[in-house]
Amino acid sequence: MPKSFLIDTSRCTACRGCQIACKEWHELPANKTTQYGWGSHQNPQDLNANNYKLVRFSEHLDGDVIRWNFFPDQCRHCVEPPCKDMADMIVEGAVVRDDKTGAVLFTEASVKLSEADFEEVRMACPYDIPRRNENSGLMSKCTMCNERIHSGLQPACVKVCPTGTMQFGEREDMLKLAEARLESLKKDWPEAMLADPYDVNVIYLLIDTPENYHERSVAANTAGPMSKKQFFATLTRPFRAMKA
Ligand code: SF4
Ligand code: SF4
Ligand code: SF4
C-alpha cells in the first residue's frame, strides 16, 4: 500500500519550516530573491530546481474581511503519474515510481531529455511541478524523501511542521483521516473540500474555494490544451525518434 500525505491547510500558519527543512535535507542552495508584485510574503516567487517545496500565499477579500490562504505546494506523487507517461514516450526510465511508497522520482536518465522534451513532461503535469536544473540538466522536484521513508523516518517537511498541518502514513489511513477532518471543518467552512484525493498521494484539505488558493491547487483541466499537446506528442514521437 503506497504512502500518502494529508495537508490540512486550515492549520497552516505559513511559518515555512517545511520549505526550509526540505532545502536542508536535500542540501539545496539558497536562491537570490526579491520582493515582488504587490508585496506578497511568498518567497521565492515559484518552485525551482532549488525549492521542491513552496508555501504559496494568497490574499483576497471576503466581503469586508481580508482572507489569507496558505498552500504548501509540492509534487502530488500522482497515483497514475502523467509526467511518467509522457517521459516514457521520450526517455524510458527518466521518471520511475517506487511501488512500495508511491514516490514518483526523476532519475539520472532525465538528463537525456532535451529542453523541448522537458517542456513536454512539465506540460503533462496537471499541477505544474517539474523544474529543470539549468546547470546539471536534471529534472527536479519533491522526492517524497523516499530514502527517509525506507529508513523508517518521516519526510523532512512533515517532521518539522509545528502545527499538525502535515500528516504522513499509509494511504488508507490518510484518506480516512482526510474524510474525518473534512467532516468536522465543514461546520465552520461550508466550502471545505479535498483536492483530487483519489488521484494523488498528497491530499490537500482546502477550507476555501480552490481559486482562492493557488491556481493549481486542484488539477488543471486536462480536457484543454494539455491533453491536445500530449496527443500530438504521441503522434510525433516516433517521427522525431526516427530523425534522431
Ligand atoms: Fe504550514 Fe507546517 Fe509548513 Fe509551517 S511547517 S508552513 S505550518 S505546513
Ligand atoms: Fe508527476 Fe506532476 Fe504528478 Fe508530481 S504532480 S507525480 S510531477 S504529474
Ligand atoms: Fe521536500 Fe521531502 Fe517534503 Fe518532498 S517530502 S517537499 S522532498 S521535504
If one residue of 77, 202, 216 were mutated to test the ligand 2 pocket, choosing by the most ligand atoms within 8 A of its CB, it would be 77
Q: What domains can be seen in the chain, in order of their start residue?
A: 3-74+145-212 (3.30.70.20)
pLDDT recorded at residue 38: 67
3-state secondary structure of 19: helix
Quickly state the pLDDT bin for 231 (edges 50, 70, 90): very low
List beta partners, residue 104: 97
What is the per-residue pLDDT across 47-62, written as a single tens digit (0 to 9) for each? Answer: 999 999 999 999 888 8
**Can you list the positions of beta strands (E) in 86-231?**
95-97, 104-106, 131-132, 139-140, 166-170, 193-195, 202-206
DSSP at 111:
G
Atom of ligand 3 at shortest range from CA of 74: 6
pLDDT at 132: 96
Q: Residue 1: its pLDDT value, please? A: 76
Output Rg (C-alpha) for the chain, integer angstroms.
18
- Pocket around ligand 2: residues whose beta carbon is below 6 Å from it? 75-78, 81-83, 104, 125, 127, 129-130, 141
Going through the chain in order, the beta strands assigned E by DSSP cover 3-8, 54-62, 65-73, 95-97, 104-106, 131-132, 139-140, 166-170, 193-195, 202-206
pLDDT higher than threshold 80 for residue 36:
no
Question: Taking Cα atoms as reference points, which of 4, 5, 7, 49 lies closest to residue 214?
Answer: 7
State how far the Cα of 138 lies from the Cα of 167, in Å rounded to an integer: 29
pLDDT band at 115 (very low <50, low <70, confident <90, very high): very high
Q: How far is the CA of 194 from the centre of ligand 1 (A)?
A: 18
221 Cβ inside 6 Å of ligand 1 = no
H-helix or E-strand spanning residue 68? strand 65-73
pLDDT at 239 over 50: no
More confident residue, 241 or 136: 136
User: What integer is the mean pLDDT of 109-136?
Assistant: 96
Classify burial at 103, counting beta carbons within 10 Å of its beta carbon; exposed 0-12, middle 13-18, buried 19 or more: buried
